Amino acid sequence: MAMDADAQFNYFNYYTEVEDAFVRRRGAHMLVSPLDWALIESWKEMGVPLAVVLRGIERAFDAFDKQPRRHRKVNSIFYCQQSVEECFAEHRQSMVGAAEETGSATTPIAGGDGPDSPFERVRVERYLERVASDLAAARARAEGRGELEEALDRAVARLGEIRADVEAARRLDPEALERDLTSLDALVVAAIVDTASTEAVEGARSEAKSALKAHKKGMDKAFYKQMFDKFVSRRLCEAAGVPRLSLFFMD
């Protein structure tokens, strides 16, 4: 039986998001093997949410980046298999008893310590609602802008999944949520930078040079470049009205 258009989009979108996240963290493009595609398909058939798979990929590469063998590359999505399975187990555990939980609006996220915690559920949900609204507005402004419009469509959809996960969970892990938001932020920032006009990029670069001039001498070259690139990308995001996607910016 043929899938309807929405089901087909969601089916292939799952594969696209996983592949893109893996290639981005790998730092170099590669053709995903049939075996890797089969692994992705198995995750989908098992009901592993997209956000959980992406979280597992981020966690696997975070661990890999701490290893001293910088010349090596990860050449298969199978490298992330164990991490994804661990994240899925954690996800299922977080859902245990969710349906019976009452008063969830005031239930603190795991790691918090009650209503005064910076990660109290109601504050997180309010923050995600605001970010979703800002992201949707940025998507509306990007109408007709090709790659940027497509990337923001994907971002809006992924943020919707993240919010649903937060609302459904009995107790959530702020670290896992921050990992999800950071991954999503990287997608949005890359799209903004790639589609910005030459004038906008040059303006942001000029501002970065001026802002970092007094500090350049005391910085390692690699660190300076990292700071410079981050400054430029953030200025471009601000100009596009795209929100910061991190719990660090929660009111």
Cβ(158)–Cβ(177) below 8 Å: no
- Residue 84 sits in the same domain as residue 176: no
Q: Are residues 67 and 27 in the same domain?
A: yes
> pLDDT (tens digit, 9 = 90+) per residue, 102-125?
444 444 444 443 455 566 888 888
Q: Name the residue range of residue 67's domain.
A: 1-95
Same domain, 114 and 215: yes
Burial zone of 251 (CB within 10 Å; 0-12 exposed, 13-18 middle, 19+ buried): exposed
Same domain, yes or no, for 119 and 221? Answer: yes
Query: Interior CA angle at 195 toward 215 and 182, to 5°?
Result: 60
* Arithmetic mean of pLDDT, 51-76: 85
What is the identity of the amino acid at 248?
F
- Tell me the CA distances in angstroms from 175 to 58, 109, 125, 199, 205, one per residue in order: 12, 10, 15, 37, 32
The one-letter amino acid code at 203 reads G
Dig out the tokens for 195 from the structure.
Answer: 């589609």
Same-domain check for residues 70 and 179: no
The answer to whether 192 touches 181, Cβ cutoff 8 Å, is no
Using the CB atoms, write b or e for 142-159: b if 16+ within 10 Å.
Answer: beeeeebbebbebbbebb
163: which residues sit within 8 A by CB, 6+ positions away?
A: 125, 128, 129, 132
| Better-scored residue on pLDDT, 200 or 100 | 200
End position of a domain, from candidates 37, 67, 95: 95
Residue the block writes with tokens 């043929």: 2
Same domain, 38 and 75: yes
Three-point CA angle 190, 51, 250, nearest 5°: 70
| Residue of 166, 34, 148 whose CA lies nearest to 94 | 166
Q: How many distinct structural domains can be found in the chain?
A: 2
pLDDT for residue 5: 46
Domain final position from 95, 114, 137? 95
- What local confidence, expressed as pLDDT, does residue 17 receive? 86
- Does residue 45 carry a pLDDT above 90? no
Q: How far apart are CA 237 and CA 187, in angstroms?
A: 12
Domain stops at, among 95, 119, 137:
95
Contacts of residue 23, Cβ cutoff 8 Å, sequence gap at least 6: 29, 30
Do 121 and 147 form a contact (C-beta atoms < 8 A)? no
Q: What's the pLDDT band for 10 if we cut at 50, 70, 90?
A: low
How far apart are the C-alpha atoms of 95 and 200, rounded to whole Å? 45
Quick one: residue 215, left, alpha or beta (phi over 0 = left, psi -120 to 50 = alpha)? Answer: alpha
Say which residue, 26 or 174, is predicted with more confidence. 26
Q: What's residue 211's pLDDT?
A: 81
Residue 168 shares a structural domain with residue 201: yes
CA atoms within 13 A on the CB side of 107: 18
Residues 90 and 136 grouped into a single domain: no
Q: Which residue has the higher pLDDT, 113 or 194?
A: 194
Q: What's phi and psi for 25, nearest 5 deg?
A: -70, -30
Q: Are residues 89 and 141 in the same domain?
A: no
124 plus 85 within the same structural domain: no
Are 147 and 245 in the same domain? yes
109 and 181 in a single domain? The answer is: yes
Least confident range from 40-54, 92-106, 151-165: namely 92-106
DSSP run (H or E) holding 61: helix 50-65
